[in-house]
Amino acid sequence: MSALGKGLGALIPSKGKSNNARDYFSAHTFSDDETPSGQQVITVPIDKVSVNPWQPRTNFDHDKLNELAESIKKHGIIQPLVVTKSGDTWQLIAGERRLKAAQLLNMTEVPVIIKEVSDRDKLELSIIENIQRHDLNCLEEAGSYKRLMEEFGLSQEDIAKQVSKSPSTIANMLRVLQLPIVIKEALAANKITFSHAKIILSYPGKTEQIKIFKKILHSDLTVKQLDELAHRTVLKDKNEKKQDPILVAYEDKLAKNLGAKVSIKKRGERGQIVIDFYSHEELKNLLNKLQE
């Protein structure tokens, strides 16, 4: 399997020395009569352009689309769409936001560059274009990486090189796909951030993850506050694991006799016995048992 992005230079060659697709998108815009690297920019009927089935983005911000439509109304489509021929129509490779904005304006034609590419190239270029413009949320980005790995056999290292991110970042992105659905929905809706999600993943099980997620929403925890809470939880767990096994046995015996949670806190020869209760009735029952 070839490395990710090997064919991107041929897919949309850039001017000068750079063959990096990210550099291409950040450094180039085109007027309608410009021909990048000798490529012809032509206009085609908008109703003959179909969306890219490999588009990784599933959510489009309507306000931003309207802003783009207003810009296109004033200045036209500065950067052509990239398409591939499909029968008597053209399938979009890159530029779905521009296509949707043009449709909002009821435009009849759009400027395009026609390229012949593979399905993998379509997915690669769509991911790179969207990441360059920060248009993907972390779940969409993670889903795209997963497709590249599962459907095209690419490694995390290959993907990391192409999108100029570290392999650990790619790994963390993929891990968010393992979160409970309710947390992923909140992530997609921007109720929590990717940084929140990474800390939530440090909790061992889905029950613990949902519990801390609810605390984030209820208390509006910042990433810093959540990180501090997670560290305190880890320290508490470590301390509990180091607890004297004899004291643990005493706690269990008292808990069974009293029918309540019991904690023994010992420092040197001194300490405390803490008995939990959750209602006045439970307190009365505990007092009766202690007096027997």
Q: List pLDDT tens digits, range 88-109.
A: 888 887 788 888 889 999 998 9
Tell me: the pLDDT tens digits for 105-145? 999 899 988 887 776 766 666 666 666 555 677 888 888 88
Over range 35-42, report the average pLDDT. Answer: 60
pLDDT of residue 82: 83
pLDDT of residue 154: 80
Q: Where are the alpha helices (DSSP H) in the chain?
A: 8-11, 21-27, 62-75, 96-104, 119-132, 138-152, 156-163, 167-175, 181-188, 194-200, 206-219, 223-241, 245-258, 280-291
From the number of C-beta atoms within 10 Å of its C-beta (0-12, 13-18, 19+), residue 39 rates as: middle
pLDDT of residue 1: 38
SS3 211: helix
Tell me: the pLDDT tens digits for 45-63? 998 888 776 665 666 677 8
The amino acid that residue 160 corresponds to is A
Q: Report strand pairing: 49-50 vs 89-94.
A: parallel
Confidence of residue 239 (pLDDT cuts 50, 70, 90): low
H/E run at residue 86: strand 81-86
Distances from the Cα of 98 to the Cαs of 33, 65, 89, 258, in angstroms?
18, 8, 18, 69
Distances from the Cα of 208 to the Cαs of 16, 213, 237, in angstroms?
53, 8, 13
98, 72 contact by CB (below 8 A): yes
H/E run at residue 81: strand 81-86
pLDDT of residue 282: 77
Confidence of residue 44 (pLDDT cuts 50, 70, 90): confident
Give yes or no: 282 in active site. Answer: no
Measured CA to CA, the distance from residue 174 to residue 292 in angstroms comes to 58
Q: Report strand pairing: 89-94 vs 262-267.
A: unpaired
pLDDT of residue 257: 81
Name the token pair of 168: 């650990």
> What is the percent of the chain where pLDDT is above 90?
8
Measured CA to CA, the distance from residue 149 to residue 178 in angstroms comes to 16
pLDDT of residue 96: 81
Torsion of CA 234, 240, 243, 247, to 10 degrees: 170
32 or 289, greater pLDDT: 289
Confidence of residue 203 (pLDDT cuts 50, 70, 90): confident
Looking at the predicted structure, is the pLDDT value of residue 179 above 50?
yes
- Beta-bridge partners for 264: 273
pLDDT of residue 192: 92
Catalytic site residue from 34, 67, 70, 96 = 96
Over range 227-244, report the average pLDDT. Answer: 67
Tell me: the pLDDT tens digits for 209-224? 999 999 999 888 888 8
